[in-house]
Amino acid sequence: MAWNNNNRGQGSYPRKQNDYAYSGNFNAPFAQNRQGYQSMAQNQQAPKKSGANYTKIKKGGAEGFYAISAWRKTRYGLMTAKAFPCQEKGGGVVTHKGKEKGHEHIRYAVDVVMNGQSQTYFCLFRVDTQKILINELGLCISPNGSGYTSSGKCARGFFGSPFKK
């Protein structure tokens, strides 16, 4: 008799009682360990690991611009960032206009706190996309993103590595 995969234990060797490979119950040794994993609902989203909050400034020289606070969960702990527009000596906001594509940017000071250590970075806030790119860290703060934290709070925005499609 020629051997093929449809024989299921009818070959020339005897069948064992606890041989899971031929009993048709392929995941039997792992069935007890998977019960906790299977109890989570299928349609439940994974909790967010980063977020950003954009607030319009109502008073002062930077009135009408955004104050941004962002947070990010890393394997080393919680990373937080607060960004505010840089003020000129006369009271206005420092703006830049790109020569090639003509995008308008505003200079922002981003204060990043990680493991109790604070560092300030000067970055550009692009007005049309409302994104801040921190080149030194390779991170981006963006208003795009939604979801819920592990405690159930609604979180908007994104603070993480930039990517383009």
What's the mean pLDDT in 1-28?
54
Total domains present in the chain: 1
What's the mean pLDDT in 122-132?
90
Alpha helices in the chain (DSSP H): 35-38
38 located within any domain = no
Q: Please state the pTM of the whole predicted model.
A: 0.65
Query: Rounded to whole angstroms, how far apart are CA atoms 14 and 106?
Result: 77
Domain span at 146: 50-160
pLDDT for 16 equals 55
151 secondary structure, DSSP code: T
13 located within any domain = no
115 located within any domain = yes
Q: What is the pLDDT of residues 60-88, one digit of tens each?
A: 778 888 999 999 998 889 999 999 998 87
What is the enclosing helix (H) or strand (E) of 134?
Answer: strand 131-134
147 located within any domain = yes
Single out the residue of 127, 138, 17, 16 nearest to residue 72, CA to CA.
138
Residue with structure tokens 């439940």? 44
Backbone angles phi, psi at 112, to 5 degrees: -105, 130
Which of 28-32, 74-78, 136-140, 160-164 is predicted with the least confidence, judged by mean pLDDT?
28-32
96 located within any domain = yes
8 located within any domain = no
Question: Is residue 36 pLDDT above 60, yes or no?
Answer: no
20 located within any domain = no
